[in-house]
Amino acid sequence: MKLRRTVLIAAAATAVLATTAAMFPASPAERSQPLPALTARALAARYAADARQVTRAIASSRRAGDSGLTRALTGMRGRHFLDFNPSGQGLAVEVVGDLATASRVVILIPGSDTTLASFDSRGTASPQGAALALAAQSRRLDPGARLAVIAWLGYAAPRTLSPAVLTSGDAERGARALRPLVDSLASSGREVALICHSYGSVVCGLAAANLPATDIAFIGSPGTDASSVRALHTRARVWAGRGSSDWIGSVPHLHLLGLGFGQDPMAPSYGARTFGCGQAGHSGYFRPGGVALRNLAYIALGDPADVTR
């Protein structure tokens, strides 16, 4: 009876999800720009072009009377974007560091509730704040490292309180957008690592197959849509970390009738290299001084021997 009840509930939920998705379709970013040549000149041109896009978006948000978005966009002036698009929830791909001279690049993939308006409004819980914290910690650990960090909002992340956050639809679109960037960076001679937070873990899990990344790290993960590291079909070192105060540890790791994301990457049977995250909460992995940030920096630098459990 319990199994039957579970199946009926899941079937009903799936029907509700399908109806809701039809009524409220997702609004992914309209397009993703291909990576320019990784030279100082070509990158400067791209940064300048996207700076003009930011300026136009500020003017548009002011005309629309959206003061919150205007504040967020105004803070983006003078920064380096490989891609920017204010359509829908927005798209932003920001570079911290010198991508032209970097030998190693780490890409941060955020989870739910991430939009242009929240891209840098929540400190280190935001993509830009996390990228700055990771770059600073990496410099402290290895001042001579040629590392660039990319804060990647390249997909329309679902809202936490929405049916979409229980399915992999948005993550599939994110994976399709992420792969070309990783491929282009790797083909240009850069080593690439991915750090994937929360729902961003699902994005990375779906993108992982044959992706030319050296490391893939899941933090605060609800699952990856894969049952094990082997099922990811990757040669990358696969890492998993979760703070002791992260509520995601209490979420059932299931995959039933299209709902949920399967096995917990922290489970021994999954086969990931687990690492310590101290007492980090779900939004606290990039807080300066924390165990999690230090270990993530070693992963970003490609120093697996220094990562602690």
Instruction: Give me the number of domains the chain comprises.
Output: 1
On the question of pLDDT at 83 being above 80, the answer is: yes
Give the DSSP letter of residue 95.
Answer: E
pLDDT tens-digit series, residues 241-285: 999 999 999 988 877 767 889 999 999 999 999 999 999 999 999
Report the alpha-carbon distance of residue 202 to residue 168 in Å, rounded.
7
pLDDT band at 14 (very low <50, low <70, confident <90, very high): very low
Please check whether residue 206 lies inside any domain of the structure.
yes
Q: Considering Cα of 231, then 191, then 46, then 56, what sign does the dihedral take?
A: positive
On the question of pLDDT at 142 being above 80, the answer is: yes
Predicted confidence at residue 28, as pLDDT, reads 42
pLDDT band at 1 (very low <50, low <70, confident <90, very high): very low
Domain of residue 139 covers: 86-306
- Give the CATH number of the domain where residue 279 resides: 3.40.50.1820
Please check whether residue 184 lies inside any domain of the structure.
yes
pLDDT tens-digit series, residues 188-236: 999 999 999 999 999 999 999 999 999 999 999 999 999 999 999 999 9
Please check whether residue 77 lies inside any domain of the structure.
no
Predicted confidence at residue 86, as pLDDT, reads 93
Please check whether residue 182 lies inside any domain of the structure.
yes
Distances (CA, A) of 170 to 27, 44, 197: 10, 31, 15
Predicted confidence at residue 176, as pLDDT, reads 96
Q: How many alpha carbons fall within 13 Å on the CB side of residue 200?
A: 28
Token duo for residue 83: 């891609």
pLDDT tens-digit series, residues 34-66: 999 999 999 999 999 999 999 999 999 999 999
Please check whether residue 210 lies inside any domain of the structure.
yes
Mean pLDDT calculated for residue range 288-296: 98
On the question of pLDDT at 9 being above 70, the answer is: no
Predicted confidence at residue 280, as pLDDT, reads 98
Strands 191-197 and 147-153 come out as: unpaired
pLDDT band at 31 (very low <50, low <70, confident <90, very high): low
Q: Are 257 and 10 in contact (CB under 8 A)?
A: yes
pTM over 0.75: yes
Please check whether residue 39 lies inside any domain of the structure.
no
Please check whether residue 44 lies inside any domain of the structure.
no
Average per-residue pLDDT for the chain? 90
Which is more confidently placed, 152 or 20?
A: 152
Please check whether residue 37 lies inside any domain of the structure.
no
Predicted confidence at residue 27, as pLDDT, reads 42
